[in-house]
Amino acid sequence: MEPAEAEAGGGIAAARSSPAAVQATNDDAAASKLSCVTKGYMKDDYVHHFVRRTTKRAPIINRGYYARWSVLRKLMLQFLNAGSGSDDQKRKQILSLGAGFDTTFFQLQDEGLAPYLYVELDFQEVTSKKAAIINHYNDMKEKLGPDASISIEKGEVTSTNYKLFSADIRDIPKLDAVIRMAEMDPSLPTFIIAECVLIYLDPTSTDAIVSWASEKFSSAIFFLYEQIHPDDAFGEQMIRNLERAVARDMLKIYNDFIDSGERRRIERLELFDEFEEWHMMQEHYCVAYGINDAEGIFDDFGFKE
């Protein structure tokens, strides 16, 4: 089984590591995603730009990465479709903490599903590399529009609908400043993503980030994917800070929430007999989400029993 860091969403997951370790984390995550894309688990036309050497992952890793991608995408689309009868349907925003080399924005653009604003944050070692790659490949750069500005040195990308900034999310005043610089509107419905990020931080920092999100955004979904049990201290902290909080382990999500047709499709892609290890691994990952719903648009959001 690969180390958890290999599936991490971004460099912040290596908060106590060197810049080289931060970069390695992102390389591993991108390689895992490309392995899934190559095998046909999912579609991503941009992840190959971030992978220097193609690596074939074991079927159990491919299936686990697919499950992670699938639950995030399904919940994100629920968010983007929430309040579909209102005039402000498209004025939603997404904030990705420790975004790493994720390419979700570019895929959403291709599908005509991108929100009003998509903001990504990570350490500068990561954002500088990402800015350079976006600048190098026209199929990514053109998605930003003619007004885009890219600074490889600062690790920044700014455009009308997409922004990339460097930030240490443990520094709450800096986090606030970056949010203002990104021109995020705290009154708009916001989807906040933290994949394999907060578990690596100390409890004080984690509490501060969740509290900040709860106080900052009155209408928001806080999405968390971590290698933890749903009833641990972090889950309890989310419940204290947010109006509604729900958690499920990934085995239950895979069996009950991911579309049955999609499960049947991907289960035919590779021979798979590691069921005991699969069950054990998925029970040690979970998705949790917390909801602030000042506008009353998230009644139908979440896991459906």
- Are the CB atoms for 119 and 95 separated by under 8 Å? yes
Confidence at residue 13, expressed as pLDDT on a 0 to 100 scale: 42
Confidence at residue 20, expressed as pLDDT on a 0 to 100 scale: 55
Confidence at residue 234, expressed as pLDDT on a 0 to 100 scale: 56
Residue 154 CA to residue 151 CA, distance in Å, equals 5
All domains of the chain, ordered by start, with CATH? 4-293 (3.40.50.150)
User: Which residue bears the tokens 């949790």?
Assistant: 288
Which amino acid is present at 209? Answer: I
- 6 by DSSP, 3-state: which? helix
Least Cα distance to 70 among 256, 199, 222, 220 occurs for 256
Confidence at residue 214, expressed as pLDDT on a 0 to 100 scale: 93
- Are the CB atoms for 163 and 117 separated by under 8 Å? yes
**10-residue stretch averages of pLDDT, the chain, 305 residues long:** 39 46 67 94 95 88 94 96 65 94 96 95 93 96 95 96 95 94 95 88 87 94 81 59 80 95 96 90 90 92 82
Confidence at residue 200, expressed as pLDDT on a 0 to 100 scale: 74
Confidence at residue 26, expressed as pLDDT on a 0 to 100 scale: 67
pTM: 0.87
Confidence at residue 196, expressed as pLDDT on a 0 to 100 scale: 84
**Where are the alpha helices (H) located in 2-110, listed in sequence order?**
19-39, 59-81, 104-110
- Are the CB atoms for 288 and 246 separated by under 8 Å? yes
Ordered strands of the 162-166 beta sheet: 149-151, 156-158, 162-166, 117-122, 93-97, 190-195, 219-226, 286-293, 244-249
Interval 29-73: pLDDT, tens? 888 999 999 999 999 999 999 998 888 899 999 999 999 999 999
